[in-house]
Amino acid sequence: GAGVSQSPSNKVTEKGKDVELRCDPISGHTALYWYRQSLGQGLEFLIYFQGNSAPDKSGLPSDRFSAERTGGSVSTLTIQRTQQEDSAVYLCASSLVAAGAAYEQYFGPGTRLTVT
């Protein structure tokens, strides 16, 4: 398919475990974004990549959260020592360009994370 894909679609984990979420952006898209949507909340910005570098990590909630992007393509979001408040839908989006131009971001279906 040509869209943004994310895996897994659902993840249930025990408090204290580490989890890794994956995002495959649309081929050729240089910008990649991670968002989080908690119950009843809007889309909370986490981190943004332009190529493999992350100019803006300001949304990461704590140092338990990290993300990387390799080859200008796939990105992984890692949450260490998960807490119950980390339960949310984690959405990835990609776009052709970032600042100053097209803001149209294409979203994946999300990963629903439940921490028990």
* Listed ranges 12-20, 60-68, 75-83, 96-104: which one lies at the site for other proteins (CB under 8 A): 96-104
> In angstroms, rounded to a whole number, what is the distance separating the alpha carbons of residues 93 and 95?
7
Residue 80, interface with other proteins (CB under 8 A)? Answer: no
Residues counted in the chain:
116
Please report the beta strands in the chain, taking only residues with DSSP state E, as ranges in sequence order. 5-7, 10-13, 19-24, 31-37, 44-50, 53-56, 65-69, 75-79, 88-95, 106-107, 111-115
Residue 5 CB, nearest approach to other proteins (Å): 10
Candidates 41, 53, 70, 84; binder of other proteins (CB under 8 A) is: 41
Residue 104, interface with other proteins (CB under 8 A)? Answer: yes
Question: Distance from first CA to last CA of the chain, Å, rounded?
Answer: 33
User: Which residue in 5, 56, 14 sits closest to 33, CA to CA?
Assistant: 56
Residue 108, interface with other proteins (CB under 8 A)? Answer: yes
Residue 16 CB, nearest approach to other proteins (Å): 28
Instruction: Report in angstroms the alpha-carbon separations of 32 from 8, 41, 78.
Output: 18, 21, 15
Residue 100, interface with other proteins (CB under 8 A)? Answer: yes
Candidates 19, 110, 113, 115; binder of other proteins (CB under 8 A) is: 110
| Contact positions vs other proteins (CB under 8 A) | 4, 31, 33, 35, 40-45, 48, 50, 55-56, 59, 91, 93, 98-100, 103-110
